[in-house]
Amino acid sequence: MTKNKPKAEGQRDEAEGQDGGWGWVLVGALFVSTSLVFGLMRSLGIFFVEFVQYFEESAQAISWISSTGLAAQQFFSPLGAALCNAYDARVVVMTGGCLAGLGLILASQATCLVHLYLTMGVISGLGWGLVFTPMVATVMANFTRRRALALGLGFSSIGLSSFAFNPLFQLLVEVFAWRGALLILGGLSLNIVPCGALIRPKRRSKSPEKINSESKPRASILHRVSSHLELSLLFERPYITYTLAVTLLNVGYFVPYFHLVAHSRQAGFSEYQAAFVMSAAGATDILGRVASGWFSDLGHFRLLHLLSIWTTLAGVFIMLLPVSSLSGSYPALMVISLLYGFCSGALTSLVFAVVPMIVGVARVMGALGLLQLIESGAGLLGAPLSGFLKDVTGNYIASFMVAGSFLILGTLTMATLPHYFSCKDPPPPQRPSPEDKDKSLQSEVEPSVTERSVI
Amino acid sequence: MNLLWAVGALLLSCWQASASTGPKIITDPPEVSNQTSAVLSCNLTESNLPIKGSHWVYNGKIIEDSKSTDASPSTVLRLEKITHSSGGKYECVFETEPEVKGTIEVKTLPHVGAYKHSEHGNEKDKGVMVCVSHGYPLPTDWTWFKEEDGTQKPFINGTTTKFEIKSTPNKTTLTINELSMEEDIGDYTCSGTNELGTSSDKIHLRVRSRLAALWPFLGIVAEVIILVTIIFIYEKRRKPDEINDGRAIPMQITKTRM
């Protein structure tokens, strides 16, 4: 693992991260931490039944737990990004891991539903928020040509882990009861801390800026905070458009995960058949992530175009899901679910990989943070909306139709990005002028030094 | 005087006869209890109303196959296999003006099933066991037993605060508070009784000690600490090398200074 390359590498232009070496170790860290964040979140459904029975609350009240967790993760993402920009990604991720574990450990002692909202929802969600965005941004900064593949591999963990975690959690709950299971999960979540430790600590690359800001009389806390959060991005049309597209995508994206099993059961299939459909979709999800990552990196098509294709297909397949299950045919349901799984995995690898194309590598950390925050509204909206549609219409057809149409709306929004229809990527935008002014004050001038390294 | 009585009696019998000329349905059998199959038949008598057809209704819903446009005053419904799900109220309906109905009740033994055959609970926590029933008529009585030394020991609601039984006709719940590992592990039987008989189901309760999950947890925490220590030690070892290494990621400043 020691990649002590000769000094020649030092001269290599590091405008963007070079592929290989420690980068792949970080991909492994991303793999583990993502599985412990999202894979875990997705398998919390096992506890759903236990909570309903133990706390004697309605299904809706219980489902708010995971909604809160997801929303907290996305809401605190900009905070995580800002802290990484200000301090060190390593510390932030390790803290996030501790918080995530702590939330679950405290949840195991919960005596009422509110406790669960606060612990599993807020505390763990905060922890997850401090973990995910920094890890993703770190990996992206370490790769250029193989970025989509690296992300695809990293995110493939979500599918694999929800595949593995579902039966594992079921076993834990059976053997240890839900309290014991949550305690053990808290311990498992602490494994995020070593993943964070693998991030190489930043070598004070922000210090020139700090020196400069001290010399400028007007540098205020507000300015620094806003630059850490990359709030200037909110005023750029491409970024806003893309964020809107991803938000729309998110409204529909999670719906099948919440409702596919229930819908299959309602269509008349047995518990095991329904669960197996989910597992199968999860398997093709993994495949889709890796395959799409690898394929995108071949460079034949623009990432943005590929993303649009996968999103549209996923939307179409979501809409076909209720149609296939209503025909009563299990093979039809299976096939559509497999296709849906593949497309939804494929689009996931690309959603983040496109961001550097739009905002430039330097601002990726903040961009991701803000993106997660804005799309959090969508996640909060999606599941209750489809639940509401189900309550009103009595079945899941309307929910799936609406979910699929949101994905297609997302694609249409993406089509309004500037230079969408050109075949080559436009050059990524450089950072606006204040930085250039700073640069001119320093003696060392690099042409592409807009890349304040993300780590 | 005698003549007056005779006339009165004659008038009374005539009136009675005319009162009973309303349409009447003879059902056969009047009730089905505990049979594996049955043939339900209705005969419409004492009615000169025109019959447009007939059909059967089960628990309020029309049985599609039983619709007939026959003007015959008798109709028959065959129940090939009677299980707990086919118990209920069957009505034969003759489409006349107004409609005439007869009812035959099909009664079966209750079907009692447990939600989960293996329940678990934490020590000092509460354990909940649930049984549901389907069939007609629904059980009127629910009892819970615990198997101890080969015999069934019944629970009587209200004697202690440790147990609570909540029952509705189609569901019964036994809640045990303050589970204890020595006393409460074992097999529990719920049994539901209706007018035809009783049926029951068994649930196995497991009680886990509160600390059971602690050992795996501590093991995982230890593993995490070891991993983090290894990573930091490894990095300290490599640090002297890295300052000279032109590695791109952290080396912005060093590189530009070179």
The rounded distance, in Å, linking the Cα atoms of B187 and B177 is 16
Using DSSP bridges, classify how beta strands B118-122 and B88-94 pair: parallel, antiparallel or unpaired.
unpaired
Close Cβ partners of A157 (under 8 Å, ≥ 6 residues apart): A30, A31, A32, A34, A35, A39
The closest of A178, A234, A196, A250 to A28, measured between CA atoms, is: A196
| Residues of A in Cβ contact (< 8 Å) with B185 | none
Q: Per-residue pLDDT tens for B11-52?
A: 766 565 554 557 788 887 888 887 888 888 888 887 777 888
Q: What is the pLDDT of residue B225?
A: 94
* Backbone dihedral angles phi then psi of residue B71, each to the nearest 5 degrees: -90, 15
Nearest to A43 by CA among A168, A156, A193: A168
Cis amide linkage into residue B29, ω under 30° from 0 = yes
A370 or A207: which carries more pLDDT confidence? A370
Do both A260 and A131 map to the same domain?
no
Query: Is the pTM above the cut of 0.80?
Result: no
Please answer yes or no on whether A177 and B125 come within 8 Å at the CB atom. Answer: yes
Structure ipTM over 0.90, yes or no: no
Q: Are B232 and B154 in contact (CB under 8 A)?
A: no
Nearest residue on chain A to B222, judged by CA atoms? A187
Q: Mark whether A195 and A237 lie in a shared domain.
A: no
Looking at residue A188, what is its pLDDT? 93
Contact A201 B220 (CB under 8 A): no
Which residues 87-106 of A have a C-beta within 8 angstroms of B? 94
Residues A190 and A324 in one domain: no
Q: What is the total residue count of chain B? A: 258
Cβ distance B228 to A141 less than 8 Å, yes or no, reads: no
Q: Which of A211, A229, A247 is the last residue of a domain?
A: A229
Question: In this complex, is the C-beta atom of B248 within 8 Å of any C-beta atom belonging to chain A?
Answer: yes
Quote the pLDDT of residue A183: 92
B129-186 pLDDT tens trace? 888 888 888 888 888 888 887 667 777 777 778 888 888 888 888 888 888 888 788 8
Given a cut of 70, whether residue A401 has pLDDT beyond it is yes
Between A9, A54, A449, which is nearest B246 by CB? A9
Do residue A342 and residue A416 come from a single domain? yes
The one-letter amino acid at A34: T
Residue A251 has pLDDT above 80, yes or no: yes
Interface contacts A/B by beta carbons within 8 Å: 120
Pair A322, A380 in one domain = yes
Q: What's the CA gap between B229 and B6, in Å, rounded?
A: 117
Reading the block at residue A128, the tokens are: 């997850």
Amino acid A428: pLDDT:
63
CA distance A369 to chain B (A): 21
B125 close to A (CB below 8 A): yes
Q: Which two tokens stand for residue B89?
A: 């109220």
The DSSP string of A201-219 is PP-STTHHHHHHHHHSTT-
**Smallest Cα–Cα separation from A209: which of A360, A85, A369?**
A85
Which structural domain range is residue A191 located in?
20-199+224-229
Q: Which residue in A has a C-alpha nearest to residue B243's C-alpha?
A: A203
Q: How many domains does chain A have?
A: 2
Chain A interface includes B185 (CB < 8 A): no
Asked whether the beta carbons of residue B217 and residue A176 sit closer than 8 angstroms, the reply is no
CA neighbor of B54 nearest in space, from B39, B45, B42, B40 = B42
Whether residues A193 and A250 fall in one domain: no
From A62, A39, A60, A65, select the one nearest A50 (Cα to Cα). A62
Within-domain flag for A445: no
Give yes or no: residues A80 and A180 share one domain.
yes
User: Rounded to 10 degrees, what is the CA torsion of B180, B185, B187, B188?
Assistant: 10
My answer on whether A28 and A82 are in the same domain is yes
Tell whether B132 is within 8 A of chain A (Cβ).
no
Is A127 a domain residue?
A: yes
* Adjacent-strand bridge partners of B56: B92
B57-67 per-position pLDDT tens digit: 888 888 888 88
- Shared-domain flag, residues A260 and A318: yes
Asked if B166 is an interface residue toward chain A (Cβ–Cβ < 8 A), one would say no
Residues of B in contact with A18 (CB under 8 A): 248
Do A312 and A177 reside in the same domain of the chain?
A: no
B245: CB partners within 8 A, 6+ apart:
A4, A5, A7, A9, A10, B251
- List chain A residues with CB under 8 Å of B256: 444, 446, 449
Q: How many CB atoms lie within 10 A of CB B230?
A: 12
> Does residue A440 fall inside a structural domain?
no
Residue A454 maps to a domain: no
Residues A195 and A236 in one domain: no
In order of A39, A65, A113, A395, B133, the CA distances from A60 in angstroms are: 22, 9, 12, 16, 26
Tell me the percentage of chain B whose pLDDT exceeds 70: 86
Interface test with B, best of A40, A144, A179 (most B CBs within 10 A): A179
A111 assigned to some structural domain: yes
Section B210-224 average pLDDT: 88
CA distance B174 to chain A (A): 13
In residues, how long is chain A?
A: 455
Quote the CA–CA distance of A445 and A210 in Å, as a whole number. Answer: 17
The answer to whether residue A363 sits within a structural domain is yes
What percent of chain A is predicted at pLDDT more than 70? 84
Contact: A205, B253; criterion CB under 8 Å: yes
Asked whether residue A294 falls in the same domain as residue A165, the answer is no
Give me the residue from B208, B232, B252 closest to A177, CB to CB: B208
Average of per-residue pLDDT across A190-200: 90
Tell me whether residue A121 is in a domain: yes
CATH of the domain at A149: 1.20.1250.20
> How far apart, in whole angstroms, are the C-alpha atoms of residue A233 and residue A240?
8
Phi, psi dihedrals of residue A117, rounded to the nearest 5°: -60, -45
Distance from CA of A379 to the nearest CA of B (A): 32
CA distance A314 to A319: 9
Shortest Cα–Cα distance, B70 to chain A (Å): 35
More confident call, B201 vs A260: B201
Q: How does pLDDT run across A79-117, given as a tens digit for each residue? A: 888 888 888 888 999 999 999 999 999 998 888 888 889
Residue pLDDT, tens place only, B105-117: 888 888 888 888 8
Given CB atoms, is A181 within the 8 Å cutoff of chain B?
yes
pLDDT digits (tens, 9 = 90+) for A4-41: 444 333 333 344 456 777 888 899 999 999 999 988 88
A207 lies in a domain? Answer: no
Suggest the residue from B117, B125, B235, B247 to mutate for an interface test with chain A (most A CBs closer than 10 A). B247
pLDDT at A209 > cutoff 60: no
Residue A124 pLDDT grade (very low, low, confident, very high; cuts 50, 70, 90)? very high
Of A229, A251, A282, the residue that ends a domain is A229
Chain A within 8 Å of B170 (Cβ-Cβ)?
no
**CA separation for the pair B101, B105 (Å, rounded):** 13
**Using a CB-CB distance cutoff of 8 angstroms, which residues of chain B are in contact with residue A183?**
213-214, 217
CA-nearest of B232, B46, B194, B28 to B112 is B194
Q: What is the 3-state secondary structure (H, E, C) of A1-70?
A: CCCCCCHHHHHCCCCCCCCCCHHHHHHHHHHHHHHHHHHHHHHCHHHHHHHHHHHCCCHHHHHHHHHHHH
Q: Would you call B251 and A10 a contact, using CB atoms and an 8 Å cutoff?
A: yes
